[in-house]
Amino acid sequence: MIRRYFKLLIVVGLIGFFSPASAQLNLTLDASQNFTNFKFTNSQGETDVDYKGKFLGAYDLGIKVDVYKDLYFRSSIGMRKVGASYITNKVNSEWDLQFMHIELGLVYQHEFEVISLFASVSPFYENLVKGNQRLLDINYDVVASNALNTTNFGLSYQGGIITKVNDNFNI
Burial of 94 (0-12, 13-18, 19+ CB in 10 A): middle
The pLDDT score that the predictor gives to residue 23 is 62
Buried b or exposed e, range 13-33, using 16+ CB within 10 angstroms: eeebeebeeeeeeeebeeeee
The pLDDT score that the predictor gives to residue 154 is 92
Burial of 134 (0-12, 13-18, 19+ CB in 10 A): middle
What's the predicted TM-score (pTM) here?
0.74
Q: Within 13 Å, how many C-alpha atoms sit on residue 112's CB side? A: 8
| Cα separation, 139 vs 50, whole angstroms | 20
Q: Between 22 and 128, whose confidence is greater?
A: 128
Give the pairing of strands 169-170 and 138-141.
unpaired
The pLDDT score that the predictor gives to residue 131 is 93
pLDDT score of 89 more than 90: no
Residues 157-165: what's their mean pLDDT?
88
Q: Within 13 Å, how many C-alpha atoms sit on residue 120's CB side? A: 21
C-alpha dihedral (30, 97, 137, 89), degrees to nearest 10: 100
pLDDT score of 10 more than 70: no
Residues 5-32: what's their mean pLDDT?
67
The pLDDT score that the predictor gives to residue 91 is 81
